[in-house]
Structure 1
């Protein structure tokens, strides 16, 4: 499994030219009517996808703030790296009390235990524990002004993340007991870490542009 694995991805796109103005079904006229009501287009795209697999580690190195109970010492010198905890059988990886808000704890701390002086059985990536799914919609409104038969001026208003959806990403996925591990980087009991406090995408953005086609 790779870090960018997403089992389901749905991508949609559409463009619709409004049926008004010269050569169209409604108000097929020249002059002011065509310049005002003709040449309008509406376009949109949307993407809906499942989340990415998450990796849960345990803080066991000096660079995590201080020594945790699961520290594996590197007797050859240098700092140890993050290792993996043990998975508790029968416990859901995602916290069953997660309520969709950013303050709510996403990863279930009861699903993991620290591995003492050894390597845990948690895999590199957890297929059963994924980041929240993604949903994003972009919209565009276009107005075309014909100048000659082959030349036109186009004005565009584009709305990225049009509905201003917010997707949060887990802030911490390092398991540690906060009473023992004073660095505070862990989400283990009795801490309240690993909440969804980081934005995984950008807020709504509006862009205006113009172009000349010939």
Structure 2
């Protein structure tokens, strides 16, 4: 679902904003980038794909984008410095664009910190609110509970999860999917990681050359305020360091997280 609002104002000022709500679910691996799906239960023939149905690792529930464009009132054909000359060449014809984007985080899988049945992959079992600090650690996971969450030390509260039963408790063959699942824990992608916020800015200036042709200078500033975008927790377990974030979000090859500039010249004809 997407909603869009656009408004044009006088004197060269306009705004465009959009809001998107979505929810992605699947039951198998996919070719898109992910933060780690963990193990998949369909590898056990007795279960099939149904227990794997849940949040996709690229699930982004909400996204908001705001764009503001302002044609500075200087230069030929504008309110000030409207005559040709050196002043027009230096300060005239500039346009500015600001882009603000924010979105919720992607799904992440929380894993246990104990061995599982015959080396099988398993997920931690959610028993409380992972985004509330404090609490008491479960008996099968005696750790210190962090008082604060949603930070780099503990994005989530590892005390909100417990380990699935260990293999040592099995004394007879296990049959049936319902009996089998409790040894493998919850479904993958039990919660979402940090979101994404970014402000970019662009400046452009056109130089008329011949008839309708012109040369455009463009300057882009990515991550204007040089604020980091934290990645998914590097420790996705339920130890005392569960939810620890040690790096920034990967935004693509040749796209650093830190502020950077890009300059370009284009000729339009």
Pair in the same fold by TM > 0.5? yes
TM-score, with normalisation over the residues of structure 2? 0.61
TM-score, with normalisation over the residues of structure 1? 0.75
2:65 is the counterpart of 1:11:
yes
2:209 is the counterpart of 1:147:
yes
Q: Which has the higher contact order (CA 8 A, sep 6+)?
A: 1
Unaligned runs of 5+ in 1: 60-68, 74-79, 176-187
Name the CA shift for 1:140/1:203 in 2 (closer, same or farther; >3 Å).
same
Distance 1:82 1:198 in 2: 26
In structure 1, the residue matched to 2:82 is 28
Deviation above 4 Å: which 4+ runs of structure 1? none
2:198 is the counterpart of 1:198:
no
Distance 2:149 2:122 in 1: 29
Quick check: 1:58–1:82 contact (8 Å CA) kept in 2? no
Tell me the alpha carbon deviations over residues 96-141 of structure 1, each in whole angstroms, 9 at most, x when there is no partner. Answer: 2336653x22221211121112624422122xx3212211111011
Tell me the alpha carbon deviations over residues 24-76 of structure 1, each in whole angstroms, 9 at most, x when there is no partner. Answer: 112221122221221111012221111122211225xxxxxxxxx43321xxx
Structure 1 residue corresponding to 2:126, chosen from 87, 95, 112: 87
Unaligned runs of 5+ in 2: 1-54, 134-146, 168-181, 251-256
Name the CA shift for 1:87/1:101 in 2 (closer, same or farther; >3 Å).
closer
In structure 2, the residue matched to 1:167 is 229
Quick check: 2:75–2:81 contact (8 Å CA) kept in 1? yes
In structure 1, the residue matched to 2:117 is 72
Distance 1:29 1:83 in 2: 72
Aligned residues: 180
**Cα RMSD for the two superposed structures:** 2.0
